[in-house]
Chain A
Amino acid sequence: MSFLGFVEGPLFTVAAVVFVLGVIWKLAGILFLGIRPDYATPRGSALGGAVITNIRHLFPRRIFLANGGLFHFLTGYAFHIGLFILLIFALPHMTFLKDRIFGFGWPALPRWAFIVMAELALGGLLLLWIRRLSDPVQRLVSEPADHISTGLTLLVMLTGCFALQISHDVLRAIHMLLADLWLIYFPFGRLMHSFTFLFSRGMTGAAYGRRGVAP
């Protein structure tokens, strides 16, 4: 078996299993810690609060746009939107997902759109990382886990761009290897925020929704 065959075959299968089971283990483990019942007479709806807070925190409040808030919002959105569009609509990804998982395909990005999205994602993540390294608060509180998540994601995206010319097997294999490592690392580090943010916002929203306020 070629190295490319290995990273796209058995290793990918292992990575996908670790990813899925790891995420389930982590989320179930958190929920298993238990949520205390709230006996206070509610003034509002917990469910409504959870939904509203989840939506409201998609965007920063106007009062927090200064002092780097707008920068964080724009770079964060550039990175996440770029990443997710590439993940789903980049032609090689769509083809891979069609062949290996879903069995059906969907319209893929034209090359120019791929490049725009890649620039958004890479630029956004790089700027976020620069801010992490330069902002005094972020520098103080950042830990190896933050840099590993950022660095690994950046490498996956960077090699993905190099591998765009998919006939270059070595580049494609390196990208796939890093993607496998990314999937394996995912449940153990900060990347889990992709799922836990729903819990976090939802639990705050539910608690304060009962009090009739949406923080």
Chain B
Amino acid sequence: MNTTADNAATPPAGDAETAIALFLEKTGARAAAYLDACIRCGACANACHYYQASGDPRHAPVNKFRMLEKAYRRHKDPWAWLKRLSGFAPADPDIGDMQEWQELVYDTCSMCGRCTLACPMGIDIAQLVAITRAGLTAAGLAPEPIRSMAAAARDVGSPLGIDAAQLRDILNELSEKHGVPIPLDKEKADVLLIDSSLDYKVFQPTLVAMAKILDALGIDWTFSSKGYEASNLGLFTGQEDVAKAMVERIVTAAEDVGASLVLAPECGHGYASIRWEAANILGRELPFEVLHISEYLARLHREGRFGLRPLDHPITYHDPCKLGRRGGVIEEPRDILRDLAPDYREMEPSGVENWCCGGGGGVLLLESAAKTRLEAFRIKMDQVERTGAEGVVMACAFCHHTFDNGAEHFNWDRKVEDLVQLVAEHMILPGNGAATGHPAGH
């Protein structure tokens, strides 16, 4: 723990040159094509919840990659040599530029990717922001507490400092308190469940609900103290060592336990990390399947492994960006909810077009971002209210935390609900009554 604290206290060594080197290292053909295709039309501003909230042109997505573009034009553009020779190359961004851009890429971008939908060129601006974040982190400009949490994740195993011993204590306590088996470190298991620190510490009822469902369905599953943390703050900061350490632990744990399936929890970026990024970070295909818990439940439900007692109030569903728009899991949660809720209502827009809650990408963690984030959350509240639903369901702990925070701030009266908990509460096993009883924490 001391190591983590020390790491957190000392900003990573770096300067503008280090950042520029990182910009250039990470700018491949894809980023270059984006930077060269942009015509500065500003259409992306229409899609950005932070720009819509603040009205500040600096918050438009197109503005957020201009620093990266300067470095590209000067050094890596196929015409960079000619531009430098002729004196038309832009100057390198300096540390002052980088300090200014810290707010733009950390406080007012959740990397939700909605701007890509509006861009006539289809530019994945979130990808360019990720590169910019990586450079800023190298320059020592990743904001607290993201920086120290990423260090804790790398050094201890969890951004909230939960080590293997604490994990065992948490799981034992929850198991005893709620009377449900929560296996840890089984020698062999078909399914390895991972979870996020938010669930281990804050949304424990979600963790218990998952355990109850898996237990009721007779799944051979386990947690592993070798790899238990689903979140990956290395993806927020662009720190490859952090990102690699996090996915390596999970992959090692899954391989050791012989799991054919790694089950990602209700954590949008945690799902993206193990489902879409891990194989690329490690440079090899993974020898197991990865599913988000909503995908897995939808599959089991489709197979007739469980039914659902109807919910008594109208609900709507919030698509977590990293799960839906950027992860492809859009229909599966709906498959469950449409069966669960006789009065299921869609937000407008929804699915791939859904508005971000504003907390993703680590924005929720930043006190400096709170004002704009809460203004942006009004868009989400308005969306939910227009459906008339009493409850808004989600499948991401980070979104849930953002909703709770916004609801508290605005004294909002809608129920913020959790997909897994709803399933646990309303599950019916074939030929049996309710399967899991009342989930924890209610």
Contacts and interface: CB of A to CB of B under 8 A. Distances in A.
Contact of A140 (B58, B124, B290): B58
B300 interface: no
Contacts of A159: none
A35 to B, nearest CB: 5
Contacts of A167: none
Contact of B34 (A25, A61, A200): A200
A93 interface: no
Interface stretch (B191-199, B325-333, B388-396, B413-421): B325-333
Contact of A188 (B29, B79, B284): B79
A126 to B, nearest CB: 15
A64 B46 contact: yes
Nearest to B327: A211
Contacts of B29: 30-35, 199, 203
B120 interface: yes
A141 B42 contact: yes
Interface string A45-74: 000000001100100110110111100100
Nearest to B76: A33
Given A200-B37, A203-B30, A211 B276 contact: yes
A146 B282 CA distance: 40
A136 interface: yes
A139 B42 CA distance: 9
Nearest to B42: A137
A38 B280 contact: yes
Given A40-B280, A212-B328, A69 B46 contact: yes
Interface stretch (A83-91, A111-119, A190-198): A190-198
Interface string B18-58: 00000000011110111011111111011100010000011
B113 interface: yes
B52 to A, nearest CB: 9
Interface stretch (B59-67, B223-231, B334-342, B429-437): B59-67
A208 interface: yes
Contact of A142 (B27, B40, B283): B40
Nearest to B72: A33
A33 B28 contact: yes
B58 A76 contact: no
A138 B41 contact: yes
A35 B29 CA distance: 6
B218 interface: no
A28 B327 CA distance: 30
Contacts of B407: none
Given A38-B280, A135-B42, A215 B62 contact: no
Nearest to A28: B78
Interface residues of A, number: 62
A204 B44 CA distance: 15
B343 to A, nearest CB: 24
B353 interface: yes
B122 A201 contact: yes
Contacts of A196: 33, 36-37, 121
Contact of A36 (B32, B280, B352, B353): B280
B78 to A, nearest CB: 2
Contacts of A204: 116, 122-124
A44 interface: yes
A141 B63 contact: yes
B285 interface: yes
B311 interface: no
A41 B279 contact: yes
A132 B40 contact: yes
Interface string A82-115: 0000000000000000000000000000000000
B78 A137 contact: no
B66 to A, nearest CB: 7
A142 B324 CA distance: 32
Contacts of A54: 122
Contact of A211 (B60, B116, B326, B353): B326
B353 A63 contact: yes
With most chain A CB atoms within 10 A of its CB, the pick from B27, B37, B38, B284 is B37
A41 B122 contact: no
* Residue of B47, B324, B330 with highest tally of chain A CB at under 10 A: B47
Given A60-B43, A138-B42, A141-B40, A40 B279 contact: yes
A207 B327 CA distance: 11
Contacts of A188: 79, 82
A160 to B, nearest CB: 22
Given A39-B284, A199-B33, A64 B122 contact: no
Contact of B121 (A41, A69, A138, A197): A197
Contact of B349 (A63, A76, A199): A63
B117 interface: yes
Interface of A: 25-26, 28-41, 43-44, 53-54, 57, 60-61, 63-64, 66-69, 72, 76, 132, 135-143, 146, 187-188, 190, 192-193, 196-197, 199-201, 203-205, 207-208, 211-215
7 contacts: A30-B33, A38-B280, A41-B286, A57-B122, A63-B349, A196-B36, A199-B29
Interface of B: 27-30, 32-34, 36-43, 45-47, 51, 57-58, 60, 62-63, 66, 76-79, 82, 113, 116-124, 275-280, 282-286, 289-290, 324-328, 330, 349, 352-353
